[in-house]
Amino acid sequence: MKNIWLNNWRFSIIFKIKKKEKTLVLTLFNYYNQIVRKDDRIDLKYRKIKKTVQCRIAEYNKGSILQLLIKLKYSIMKKQLLKLTLFAFVMLLSFSTLQAQALWTTNGTYKISTSGLDTNLYLTINDQTGTLEWAEEKDGDDPTQVWTVQDHRTPASTGLMEIFATIPELGNFTLTTTGVEADHPNYTLSVKAGDPLEVEYTAPTGGDTPDDTSDDAPAVYFGDYSGLDQFQRRKAKVNADGLADSAGANPEDGNNALFIKTPWGGNSRYGIIPTAAGEAVQFDGGGIDVIQFHLVEAATASVNTFGVDAFVIINPVSNNQLTIKGATSKVSRLNVYSVLGNTVLSKVIDNQNGDISVNVSALSSGLYIVELNGENGERLTKKIIKQ
């Protein structure tokens, strides 16, 4: 509890984190002196006002603090002269030690930020220069700060990730580095226009891996490090507040550290904490620092209630044509969604010949989710990549 006195007014603020619900409960008590006349005696009593506000931890930042303050000011204190800056100071002071750490938990879109700074900075594509930098958080889900973090399409080894941002009208920008062998493990991260590098490997007799020469497995995609875009999620030790602490423990239910793997080694990691907005994003071979993954939207898993072999969706999508083979007249509607869940295309299907072809030239390059709806309630969803 934080207490403040101002002209015989006492304000108490209580913060409580509900970890399971990932919410923050903010309770404000306002005590003030009230003069009460009783017969010939004047008594001085305390009057108490209580206000509780609950919000999602992931949404609890400097901007939301100010919004809460405004709500509190007008809902409780609108008849009292209370300086907003007094509350902002106390709440921001408490926030630095009460913020819950945001972890990578599943494929999806995230905002990626530092941890433990008075004002955490976010991985950002500068919309003026196109360069990668640390910046203060922008309002809403600004596409220059929203990153798809998911299993790499052709990982060079198990568990590697690809990270890219989708900018409307411009397409995808993949997180990478322009570093060379002589730089390892000290890299400055950057972005390159386009998708992460997809390397096709076909084993001589159709094996699962480059070393598998068996005949009983189909050929698969398998990557290498040449794209300089293969990242690995890891764990960094933290204390009870989720802040970096070498004597602490690793998080149990997610990842809070990030490495990049290149042809010259895999020990480069986020370990250089920025001191100001506008600084470059740098990795090195030193200590493992905590990096936060603020989940925006979890990736939608594929769903198919039409039947196991009902459709084949040609993926990735090229030549601006989304093609679905093997479809029957049961399909009544096709929807396409962005990774943030927004409908970007919807079309009634009058299918007669078993195949569906839809022009998607209006869509920018990037990751999307296709949904097919059937006449009898059937449903299929699948992730696609438009080139």
Q: How far apart are CA 353 and CA 309, in angstroms?
A: 17
pLDDT > 90 fraction of the chain, expressed in percent and rounded: 31
pLDDT at 191 over 60: yes
pLDDT in tens, 46-67: 444 455 555 554 444 545 544 5
pLDDT value, residue 201:
54
pLDDT at 315 over 60: yes
Q: How far apart are CA 109 and CA 164, in angstroms?
A: 9
Per-residue confidence at 308, pLDDT binned at 50, 70, 90? low
What tokens does 219 get? 């050929």
pLDDT at 341 over 80: no
What's the rounded mean pLDDT across residues 246-255?
88
Give 268 or 24, the one with higher predicted confidence. 268
Strand 41-56, strand 108-113: pairing: unpaired
pLDDT in tens, 200-235: 654 444 444 555 555 554 444 467 899 999 999 999
pLDDT value, residue 204:
46
Q: How far apart are CA 280 and CA 177, in angstroms?
A: 12
- Characterize 84-106 residue by residue with b for buried, 16 or more Cβ atoms within 10 angstroms of its Cβ, and e for exposed: eeebeeebeebbeebbbbbbbee
- Characterize 118-137 residue by residue with b for buried, 16 or more Cβ atoms within 10 angstroms of its Cβ, and e for exposed: eebbbbbbeeeeeebbbbbb
Q: How far apart are CA 334 and CA 324, in angstroms?
A: 10
pLDDT value, residue 182:
96
Give 177 or 310, the one with higher predicted confidence. 177
pLDDT value, residue 149:
93
* Tokens 């993954």 belong to residue: 293
pLDDT in tens, 354-365: 788 889 998 888
Dihedral class, residue 300 (left if φ above 0, else alpha if ψ from -120 to 50, else beta): beta
Q: Do residues 191 and 176 make contact, with C-beta atoms less than 8 angstroms apart?
A: yes
pLDDT value, residue 275:
94
pLDDT value, residue 4:
44
pLDDT value, residue 85:
44
Q: Do residues 185 and 284 make contact, with C-beta atoms less than 8 angstroms apart?
A: yes
Nearest 10 degrees: CA dihedral of 178, 183, 187, 188?
-60
Q: Do residues 333 and 372 make contact, with C-beta atoms less than 8 angstroms apart?
A: yes
pLDDT in tens, 121-142: 999 999 999 999 999 999 888 9
Q: How far apart are CA 86 and CA 188, in angstroms?
A: 40
pLDDT value, residue 10:
45
pLDDT value, residue 335:
87
> How big is the CA angle at 147 (ends 134 and 385), to the nearest 5 degrees?
145
Q: Residue 358: beta bridge partners?
A: 322
Give 202 or 155, the one with higher predicted confidence. 155
* Structural domain boundaries in the chain: 2-98, 108-298, 303-386
pLDDT at 96 over 60: no
For 51-87, the DSSP string reads EEEEEEGGG-SHHHHHHHHHHHHHHTSTTS---HHHH
What tokens does 205 get? 């007799």
pLDDT value, residue 313:
82
pLDDT value, residue 268:
97
Q: Do residues 195 and 172 make contact, with C-beta atoms less than 8 angstroms apart?
A: yes
What's the rounded mean pLDDT across residues 290-307?
77
pLDDT at 20 over 60: no
pLDDT value, residue 87:
45
pLDDT at 386 over 80: yes
Average pLDDT, the chain: 75
Q: Point out the least confidently predicted range of 268-272, 320-324, 380-384.
A: 380-384
Give 291 or 43, the one with higher predicted confidence. 291
Interhelix angle 84-98/62-75, rounded to 10 degrees, is 140
Strand order in the sheet with 356-359: 312-313, 321-325, 356-359
CATH architecture of 303-386: Sandwich (2.60)
Reply yes or no on domain 108-298 having CATH 2.60.40.10. no
Q: Do residues 329 and 306 make contact, with C-beta atoms less than 8 angstroms apart?
A: no
The answer to whether the peptide bond before residue 185 is cis (omega within 30 degrees of 0) is yes
Dihedral class, residue 110 (left if φ above 0, else alpha if ψ from -120 to 50, else beta): beta
Q: How far apart are CA 144 and CA 97, in angstroms?
A: 28
The end-to-end CA distance of the chain, in Å, is 54
Spatial CB neighbours of 194, under 8 Å, sequence gap ≥ 6: 171, 172, 173, 174, 365
